[in-house]
A and B are shown apart, each in its own frame.
Chain A
């Protein structure tokens, strides 16, 4: 087995692996300093909606020909139900930290956590009613 692998691998293969790993580390660095999230922003076919994370609620969205249910509870948000074919969005679980997101490609919906509630308040006012 070891000999077969050695026969296959060329010197530049290791450089290729190293380069992609380096990019992975660089992509991870900005995430280390992430704050607690204050609100969740949902981008869907019908527009954009921002909900505060400290108020539990459940909302239904119709987007991309699919119906998705988003639940906010215990300071986090998740897609609790969806009728899209792969249900990857439901399997993504709960998000609560700023910058975390869940994407449903068939439903063309993005749910992302944005910073502190004060930072988001400019967008929240239209949602209260």
Chain B
């Protein structure tokens, strides 16, 4: 765990990255309704890995709040939070296994959890089981999407490791 000032600076920087990535993603055209790459997840996983899991949660909640204010609505806030919290929970559970699992595996499972959370939120909101019909292709796409964001996060962690060591000594 880095010192207080450094921790704050890291969190703020990673939140900035999360917001930029979310904005970038909102610019990308998506062929399938409801599917997202989850680029913002890169910054959340990085925070959870480089700073702490609790900081990852804080960055997640702030990212969802700010993106909903900027691009979304109350409804999208609730949905993003439902998916995001489940994804963060999976990430927090798996990070102690880091070494045997890389951020690629973590992100694949987190992406799956995110989709489960959103579909269940839709079921609850409309009191209907119909949204479950979207689950199979959302989960199928969670594998490549999670692998892509996870690989990017993994590369970042390995690059940053040296920088962090240099900074703390």
Q: Chain A nearest CB: distance from B1 CB in Å?
A: 24
How would residues 34 to 76 of chain A score, 1 for a CB under 8 Å from any chain B CB and 0 otherwise? 0000000101000000000000000000001000000000000
Residue A81 is within 8 A (CB to CB) of chain B in the complex: no
- Cross-interface CB contact of B73 among A20, A43, A106, cutoff 8 Å: A106
Contacts of A102 in B (CB 8 A): 33
CB pair B102–A9 under 8 Å, yes or no, is yes
Residue A127 is within 8 A (CB to CB) of chain B in the complex: no
Residue B140 is within 8 A (CB to CB) of chain A in the complex: yes
Asked, given contacts A8-B151, A103-B34, whether A110 binds B130 with beta carbons under 8 Å apart, the answer is yes
How would residues 4 to 30 of chain A score, 1 for a CB under 8 Å from any chain B CB and 0 otherwise? 010011111111110111011101101
Task: Identify the closest chain B residue to A114 (Cβ).
Answer: B130
Residue A99 is within 8 A (CB to CB) of chain B in the complex: yes
CB pair B133–A101 under 8 Å, yes or no, is yes
CB pair A101–B128 under 8 Å, yes or no, is yes
Contacts of A103 in B (CB 8 A): 34, 122, 126, 131
Asked, given contacts A27-B135, A64-B75, whether A100 binds B102 with beta carbons under 8 Å apart, the answer is no
CB pair A106–B108 under 8 Å, yes or no, is no
CB pair A43–B133 under 8 Å, yes or no, is no
Q: Chain A nearest CB: distance from B112 CB in Å?
A: 4
Contacts of B100 in A (CB 8 A): 10-12
Residue B58 is within 8 A (CB to CB) of chain A in the complex: no
Contacts of A12 in B (CB 8 A): 97, 100-101, 105
Q: What does DSSP make chain B's interface, helix, strand, loop or mixed?
A: helix
Q: Chain B: interface residue count, which band?
A: 35 or more
Contacts of A13 in B (CB 8 A): 101-102, 104-105, 108
How would residues 121 to 136 of chain B score, 1 for a CB under 8 Å from any chain A CB and 0 otherwise? 0100111111111111
Q: Chain A: interface residue count, which band?
A: 35 or more
Report the Cα distance A105→B121, complex, angstroms: 11
Residue B50 is within 8 A (CB to CB) of chain A in the complex: no
Residue A77 is within 8 A (CB to CB) of chain B in the complex: no
CB pair A31–B133 under 8 Å, yes or no, is yes
Chain B stretch 148-163: residues in CB contact (< 8 A) with chain A: 151, 154-155
Binding site for B on A (CB under 8 A): 5, 8-17, 19-21, 23-25, 27-28, 30-31, 41, 43, 64, 88-89, 91-92, 99-103, 105-106, 108, 110, 112
Q: A16-B108, A16-B109, A31-B133 are in contact. List 15 more A-B contacts (CB 8 A).
A: A10-B101, A12-B105, A13-B101, A17-B143, A17-B147, A20-B112, A20-B142, A21-B140, A23-B112, A27-B132, A30-B132, A88-B33, A91-B33, A99-B129, A103-B122
